[in-house]
């Protein structure tokens, strides 16, 4: 049985908490796309864990954690995370030999491009994710399995640097010293080489086990279906998780979509329900809305039913989790976007372009004291009405309601 957890907004919805909460029911937890630009924060017994490449199931002592072929891996970051958790986690960690590798020149390219774009910058994390995926599509990338033959890999990289020397010069990027690069690659091989394997075959051989696919980023950042060009460089939706792991569609059992009780976004791009005033500041402060990876303040606004319904449909969600409901405690009125206005006409669907979109709101009564509530019957009545309103509008059961950062502060309906 294979289940999938996917983000329904622009990321940072709290997927890590639901994966961690659910992981005890699974034998294998799989990360299928993205890189160390993703950040999952998990809180257990008051202790906070920040994950960037390791699957969120790493806190489950019984689960095997798989970094799939669709991920772009920055070995330095992965090694750092492994050391933070302890070498013993290597016994339950596998890395796809087909996953592509991020090297330092990818990071340098990413940062140089953003600088050159100026006011038209995408707002990337500068972690090299886009350039690594670009090399993958251009068929000049480096896969993790190539660490098995360092000599051959160095020859390939020397040819790559020669081919791109004018581009590197234009971006003012220094070509790596090959002796230093050889030392670096050997270090990667020594630290994580034993974890690199054919994970697709491993998953096929273990289809009798319970598996959980974990998405990174979220639907509205999908390279094809998100708010292009202000998106990430991979397919973040349910179908992308299958491509990024090698699991066949017929093996997918259940899709759980994750959304905050409000909306946030990091980086540039359209955001119809963004609040640039005191309300947005209040949500940011109460929700601690700062990036796990970069520390950047997140843009904040009200819940967008139109975008959520689009994401639920695109991913084929069977159920939804609403996170951080407690952040809205104390608001007298809560707005919900139920439609868009474009050039004087109202629509109820998510268009391909959002630049000229204005939100159409309804107001609901607010509530207080929802924090750390664990039973539906104990949730304030207006908070219950809010959840039921969203549930009706998106046409999908809201199974989980998160009311606090800790694993146990979760209502299961």
Count CA within 13 A, CB hemisphere, residue 289.
28
Q: Virtual CA dihedral for 115, 121, 125, 130, nearest 10 degrees? A: -90
Task: Report in angstroms the alpha-carbon separations of 18 from 15, 76, 311.
Answer: 5, 27, 18
Residue 97 annotated among the catalytic residues of the structure: no
Secondary structure of residue 29 in the 3-state scheme: strand
Sign, CA dihedral 359-363-364-370, equals positive
E strand segments, 348-403: 358-365, 398-402
- The catalytically annotated residue of 3, 12, 135, 222 is 12
Tokens matching residue 350? 């998510």
- Alpha-carbon distance of 240 to 369, in angstroms, equals 38
Residue 189 Cα to chain centre, angstroms: 27
Type and span of the H or E element at 197: strand 196-197
- The catalytically annotated residue of 3, 20, 36, 40 is 40
Residue 40 annotated among the catalytic residues of the structure: yes
Type and span of the H or E element at 181: helix 178-192
* Tokens 């090694």, located at residue: 79
Q: Which of 295, 287, 236 is nearest to 263 (CA)?
A: 287
Active site residues: 12, 40
């Amino acid at each position: 049985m294979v289940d999938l957890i996917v983000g329904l907004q622009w990321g940072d919805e709290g997927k890590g908490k639901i994966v961690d909460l659910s992981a005890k029911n699974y034998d294998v937890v799989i990360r299928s796309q993205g890189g160390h630009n993703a950040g999952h924060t998990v809180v257990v017994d008051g202790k906070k864990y920040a994950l960037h490449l390791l699957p969120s199931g790493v806190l489950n002592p019984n689960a095997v954690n798989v970094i799939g072929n669709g991920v772009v891996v920055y070995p330095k970051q992965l090694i750092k995370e492994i050391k933070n958790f302890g070498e013993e986690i290597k016994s339950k960690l596998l890395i796809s030999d087909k996953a592509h590798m991020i090297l330092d020149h990818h990071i340098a390219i990413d940062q140089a491009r953003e600088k050159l774009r100026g006011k038209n910058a995408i707002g990337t994390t500068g972690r090299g994710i886009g350039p690594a995926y670009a090399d993958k599509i251009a068929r000049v990338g480096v896969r993790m399995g190539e660490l098995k033959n360092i000599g051959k890999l160095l020859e390939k990289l020397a040819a790559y640097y020669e081919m791109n020397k004018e581009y590197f010069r234009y971006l003012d990027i220094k070509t790596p010293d090959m002796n230093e690069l050889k030392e670096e690659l050997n270090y990667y091989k020594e630290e994580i080489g034993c974890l690199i394997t054919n994970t697709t075959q491993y998953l096929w051989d273990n289809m009798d086990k319970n598996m959980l696919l974990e998405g990174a980023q979220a639907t509205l950042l999908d390279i094809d279906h998100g708010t292009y060009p202000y998106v990430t460089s991979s397919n973040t939706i349910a179908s992308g998780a299958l491509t990024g792991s090698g699991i066949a569609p017929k093996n997918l059992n259940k899709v759980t979509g994750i959304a905050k009780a409000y909306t946030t976004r990091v980086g540039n791009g359209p955001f119809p329900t963004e609040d640039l005033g005191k309300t947005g500041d209040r949500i940011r402060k109460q929700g601690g809305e700062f990036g796990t990876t970069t520390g950047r303040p997140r843009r904040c606004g009200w819940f967008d039913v139109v975008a959520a319904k689009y994401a639920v449909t695109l991913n084929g969600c069977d159920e939804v989790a609403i996170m951080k409901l407690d952040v809205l405690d104390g608001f007298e009125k809560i707005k919900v976007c139920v439609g868009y206005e474009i050039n004087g006409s109202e629509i109820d669907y998510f268009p391909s372009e959002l630049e000229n979109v204005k939100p159409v709101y309804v107001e609901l009564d607010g509530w207080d004291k929802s924090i750390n509530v664990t039973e539906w019957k104990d949730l304030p009545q207006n908070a219950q009405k809010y959840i039921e309103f969203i549930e009706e509008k998106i046409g999908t059961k809201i199974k989980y309601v998160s009311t606090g950062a800790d694993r146990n502060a979760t209502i299961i309906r």
